[in-house]
Chains A and B, each alone.
Chain A
Amino acid sequence: MKSINLKENQFIQFHQKISFKFDGVKYFGYKGDTIASALLRNNINLVGRSFKYHRPRGIYTCGIEEPNALVQIISEYSEPNTRATIKKIYEGMEIESQNRWPSLENDFGSINNLFSPIFTAGFYYKTFMGPHKKFWKNLYEPLIRRAAGLGKPPKDFKGISNHIHHNVDVTIIGGGLNGLLAAKSFINSNYDVLLIEFEEQLGGIINNSNKISLIDNKEPKDWLKETIQEIEESKNVKILKNTLVTTYNYINHLIAIEDRFVGYKPIEGKVNSTLHKIRTGHTILCNGHIERFLSFQNNDLPGIMLSSSFEKYMCRYGLAPSKEPVIFSNNSNSNSLVYSLIKAGLKPKAYVDSRSGEEIEPNLFDLIRKNDVPLYTNSQIKGAFGNKKIEKILVEDSSGALNEIKCDCLCLSGGINPDVHLFTQSKGLLDWDEKDLTYKPSKPFQPTITLGSASGQFNFDNLNSDVNEKLKTFKVKKLDVKLELNTNTKYNIEKLWEVSPQKKSLWAKSFIDLQNDVTTKDIRQAITEGFDRIEHLKRYTTNSMGTDQGKISSINALGIVSDLLDKKVNEVGTTIYRPPYAPLSFSAIAGRNCYEFYDPERKSPIHSWHLKNGAIFEDVGQWKRPWYFQINKDESMHDAVQRESINVRENAGILDGSTLGKIEIKGEDALEFMNLIYTNSFTKMKQGSARYALMLGEDGMVKDDGIICKISDQHFIATTTTGGAATVLGCMEEYAQTEWPNLKVFMNSITEQYATFNISGPKTREIMKKAFPNINFSNEEFPFMTFQFHEFNGIPIRILRASFTGELGYEIYIPSNSAPKIWDNIQSVGKEFGLAPYGTEAMHLLRAEKGYIIVGQDTDGSITPIDLGLSWMIGKSKKDFLGKRSLTRSDTIREDRKQLVGIIPSNKADKLEEGQHIILDKEIKSPVPMLGHITSCYYSSTLGHDFALAVIKNGHSMIGTKAYASTSSMSTTGVDIVKPVFYDEDNKRLVS
């Protein structure tokens, strides 16, 4: 295909050369060029290999509907599947073709084309289902995975996108003729209006074709300039350019993506796209129409292009992709291409029309005759032929004779469709127009208005009245625009979907979906095999399932199917067009919610100390908690955890418990409220005392636990698990508002306001005495499960005597700002007593030795307090609390419920594994009846062997018996079922 540059073009700066690389070779284009127009200027038309058959493919269109020319932009984070027909070039751009190996010219995968009988409709399904499962795994799958596909995913995720929200009265989608007219009507009205245009320039058909000769007796481009200026100067209409509306959701919610670097290389670290989230009162769709192609043998050869795309290259890019293209049409939309070619001093090599001479518009006829263009009426193109590019076509003329025409370019027009994607996304109804042979919007489902060709108005006669009528619900100006056309014709089309081939061959194919390599033969085969419902057929053949959603071909497929089934197209129906209209990159959707902003990290006030002291962190919800502390780089996790736990048992340890949830509950009815929320009764509890409490769901299952401090009947402080803090507060608020609004009670999270240090171990009292010399820590003055408020160096603190390790222990609550000071102080006074920090892993081990549960580890939302052996915590005399009634449901009083027990290996040297099953038989013979599973499992240096907690069926009555634990190596270990407490069963150390 030999292209030529046309003189003068307002959009292309011919004085500004731009160099870029395509598959490693350097080429030149001009400022304003897309990749496609620049490649065509360099007479390059082979730009990719097709999806399945690896057939050579060229540039088919000049816009977003492009099925073939998808490229990988190496210089832009290796962005794959970029449409060459819309992406603008810039200096130094690097582009690669896709889906070829080793090179575009010599592609190994094109051999697939000869294997095509195995790649037909339903190929994937049949091969999966077939008897040759090994064949699939060992041969087909690896082969196909390498061969089928589009671009390569980029290695890095570097694009930055911002999200912007809009709230407007009216959104006009499409800045073409009708969009501009609609926007013009709204100028200086009382409506907030957003006008969204996908391209860099407003104007649409005015820029893209020579259809219109005069608007209001002015040159179209002058009228355009004036109109744009008027709109830009208005106070109420905002224009977004380079912005594509991809999604039309319920309640008039639109998503649009704006390219911030059109014609420039995105600067690293700068926002390169903006995702607009638009809420609008009304949506006016002016997004125009899309031309469709026609199916015949080898309709995918490079050099074949849609006719309106050819014209757009001429008008918009000052480029004729070929000096003498052949035009093949069944409708009047391509008339203006003939006009444009002749106006540019070029001439079609031939004009082939399936319509009869009488149906062809007289002014087109005159134009063709006057310029001696060979005319074939009542004729069809039977096939296109050539090696990697079109070289000749075969035309069957009205007499049935075959004519071979040599050519380097073929322009196709199979008719036009309103661009109904957004309209159907909005759930609007379509109706088949038997005259114009296309689906047109009929009943909108939302406040949606369609104008111009987007509404199926393919003629310009009713331009003013249509806009005025459809906008009459708004208080806006009436339009009176006068239009004159160059090719004064009404839209006329003759039915033609597919031309049957002259003779069959293995290589020659007639495509219905270029991107997914679906042929018309596949459609026939699918129908023969019973897939005659259009949604089934789509999935079976993958027709219109590519990234282009079959924009130029899906209606053709419906036409072919309706003919094959002998039904009306309306009866066949249409598949749903789904958002996004065109691919949306993940980086645009993610916006700024990535990397450190993906999920916020929460850190305790002591975090920097932990960092300096060898802490290895674990994530608990959003919190970073020290998992264990490494005293040197060589210390393993196991060694560190054992060292920390022994130190707590022998000396003393300190844990940063600041992440524990803390909720303050106040109010006249706080006591009654707490009695309703937790299982325990707080009525008889003394002021200044604390209690371990359980919270259930209404289903009776344990949801959270914590320690409740009673300051008075009107004031409580509750702790929650680290992960459960927000849920517990939410639950309290919900019940306070929805179920017991009569109770006067308020609650607030104070988690981040207070740091918590848990100090425990036999030497704790000595350390506390030294750290807080004014406080009496004796058993009499400060008994177990009581708390006291104190002031230390002017800092208000609360000390609670409680323990999660089974040792003597205290929890100190300190305002977060002052916490590091007190932490440092405790570290220094504790040194002589062997005080060392310990992490969550040692804490888990210590509490498990003592048989204390962790909600969410030993419970899983199906465990009641009774299952845990914690019946003593249920305030049985209370009339009501969350989940009380559920504790006597038939299911919760079942005898064979899973209950918490302890597990130790019968042979102490044996290992246990978390998550393994407890079974009765030594031999694993399937089916294996399972009693339950191990929920927590550790090696204890204190005990000298492995031990575990488990939930097993009827566990409480099995204590004292033997069973087996499965192992990850598919064997079993003999275990003893014991009480779930392994250390200091009489709590002597706790109250020492």
Chain B
Amino acid sequence: MLIINCPYCGPRDQSEFSNGGEAHVKRPDGSKEIGDREWGEYVFIRANPKGLFYERWVHTHGCRKWFNCVRDTSTDEILVTYKLDEKKPNLNNFKSVVKTPSGEPEVGSGNFTVEK
């Protein structure tokens, strides 16, 4: 469970929010010709990294505003939240974050608590 810092309301319980998937995915301009591949990637393809991830959230049971954040998918920690019209932060600013907890393998989820 997380405390999420809504850029409009401040820190609130995770249960007030809904996740909206990857952030900064641009919707192709409908007034122009859009290729099958470009459109298909917009509709169906999203990144799913283990580690730092730009993500959209909405304060559903609050101000109902959408905002962006950087979340570490391996620890669930939300490192920063920012408004939609703000520039996305550089992921290199968050280098100190552990990529995988407790020496788990980088890919997949492990049961290893013991460092090899």
Contact = CB atoms under 8 A, between A and B. Distances in A.
A and B: bona fide binding partners = yes
Given A445-B101, A733-B64, A741-B85, A879 B31 contact: yes
Contacts of B85: 741
Given A249-B1, A251-B2, A738 B66 contact: yes
Interface in A216-251: 249-251
A253 B102 CA distance: 18
B114 A427 contact: no
B77 A737 contact: no
A880 B27 CA distance: 11
Nearest to B28: A885
A429 B114 contact: yes
B27 to A, nearest CB: 5
Contacts of A741: 84-85
B43 A886 contact: yes
Interface in B41-96: 42-44, 56, 58, 60, 64-66, 75-77, 84-85
B15 to A, nearest CB: 10
Contacts of A445: 98, 101-102
A711 interface: no
Contact of B101 (A427, A570, A738, A881): A427
Contacts of B113: 424, 427-430, 573-574, 576
A734 B58 contact: yes
B65 A737 contact: yes
A576 B64 CA distance: 39
A430 B76 contact: no
Contacts of A430: 113-114
B27 A739 contact: yes
Interface string B4-37: 0000000001000000100000011111001010
Which one of B13, B65, B111 has the highest number of Cβ atoms from chain A below 10 Å of its Cβ? B111
A921 interface: no
Nearest to B18: A730
B30 A884 contact: yes
A429 B114 CA distance: 6
A880 B1 CA distance: 39
A251 B39 contact: no
A513 B56 CA distance: 47
Where chain B touches its partner, the secondary structure class is loop
B105 interface: no
A251 B112 contact: no
A430 B102 CA distance: 9
Given A737-B66, A879-B30, A889-B40, A573 B101 contact: no
A277 interface: yes
B77 to A, nearest CB: 6
Contacts of B31: 879-880
Contacts of B75: 250-251
Nearest to A255: B1
Interface residues of A, number: 37
B84 A738 contact: yes
A553 B2 CA distance: 34
A443 B115 CA distance: 10
A251 B98 CA distance: 13
A885 B3 contact: no
B57 to A, nearest CB: 11
Contacts of A737: 65-66, 84
A428 B112 CA distance: 11
A106 interface: no
B67 to A, nearest CB: 9
Contact of B114 (A279, A573, A879, A885): A573
Contacts of A733: 58, 64, 66
Nearest to A249: B1
Interface string A866-909: 00000000000001110011100110000000000000000000
A766 interface: no
Contacts of A879: 30-31
Which one of A570, A573, A885 has the highest number of Cβ atoms from chain B below 10 Å of its Cβ? A885
A535 interface: yes
Interface in A424-462: 424, 427-430, 443, 445
Contact of A890 (B34, B36, B43): B36
Contacts of B28: 885
A890 B37 CA distance: 11
Nearest to B44: A699
Contacts of B115: 429, 443
A372 interface: no
A698 interface: yes
A251 B3 contact: yes
B50 to A, nearest CB: 15
Contact of A698 (B42, B84, B111): B42
A279 B3 contact: yes
A885 B13 CA distance: 38
Given A249-B1, A739-B27, A885 B39 contact: yes
A518 to B, nearest CB: 20
The 7 closest A-B pairs by CB, nearest first: A880-B30, A879-B31, A427-B101, A737-B66, A427-B102, A573-B114, A253-B1
22 contacts: A165-B13, A249-B1, A250-B1, A250-B76, A251-B2, A253-B1, A279-B1, A424-B113, A427-B113, A430-B114, A445-B98, A445-B102, A573-B112, A573-B113, A574-B113, A699-B44, A733-B58, A733-B64, A738-B66, A879-B30, A880-B31, A890-B36
Interface of A: 165, 249-251, 253, 277, 279, 424, 427-430, 443, 445, 535, 570, 573-576, 698-699, 730, 733-734, 737-739, 741, 879-881, 884-886, 889-890
Given A430-B113, A699-B44, 18 more contacts: A250-B76, A251-B1, A251-B77, A253-B2, A424-B113, A427-B113, A428-B113, A429-B114, A429-B115, A570-B114, A698-B42, A699-B43, A730-B58, A730-B60, A738-B84, A879-B31, A880-B31, A885-B30
